Amino acid sequence: MAERIGIDLVCAMCKNRGIGINKQMPWNLPKEMSYFTNITTKTENPEKMNAVIMGRKTFESIPKKFFPLQKRINIVLSTTMTEAAEGSYLAESLKEAISLTSSAQLKDKVEKLFVIGGYSAYKEVIASDYPCRIYLTKINADFECDTFFPEFKEEEFPEVIGLPDVPSEAQEEKGINWTYHVYERKK
């Protein structure tokens, strides 16, 4: 893995911290999705890939034609699934997923770990002691949601400014505005 061993979270949320409704994203913003893809696929070592860890509901929300997420090692967290979906790995817990990325099978292939949803996985990482970076897109609009991004204390996760892959200017698509933010807890 990369020098900075930790777990990064990637999420887009609207004004009320909403991240989903009925196991779907409440918005369709291709430009923002392209940013997500760039953040989760970019590696310093071209021979490695990043691992994306997702809960079962997040996995179920990804249209079949897009799964597994390309150019990433996909790990699904579930205590109810009995086998991994094609092109992915299955883990019963976040701890097991992290161990899997350190296993003989994957340790030389994984550069970074990204949790991409849902609420429980995000909350577990935020509450943990793992070094953590949160790539958070703040959508400046209201959407009806039934799933929300967990609260975190910004004094524990100071904002990081000026990262080269994170645009600092406001974005707009389909009449919806948003900004990119990065917060980091250092060990």
**Domain-by-domain residue ranges, the chain?**
7-185
- β-pairing, 110-115 vs 7-13, is parallel
User: CA triplet 40, 181, 175: central angle to 5 degrees?
Assistant: 95
pLDDT in tens, 115-132: 999 999 999 999 999 999
Q: Does domain 7-185 have CATH number 1.10.1060.10?
A: no
pLDDT value, residue 51 = 98
Report CA Rg, the chain: 16
Q: Return the pLDDT at 154.
A: 85
State the burial class of residue 26 (Cβ atoms within 10 Å of its Cβ: 0-12, 13-18, 19+): buried
Model pLDDT, residue 187: 65
- The model's pLDDT over 91-109, given as tens digits with 9 standing for 90+, comes to 999 999 999 999 999 999 9
103, 75, 72: which is closest to 89 by C-alpha? Answer: 75
Residues of the chain predicted below pLDDT 70: 1-5, 187
Distance CA 112, CA 3 (A): 9
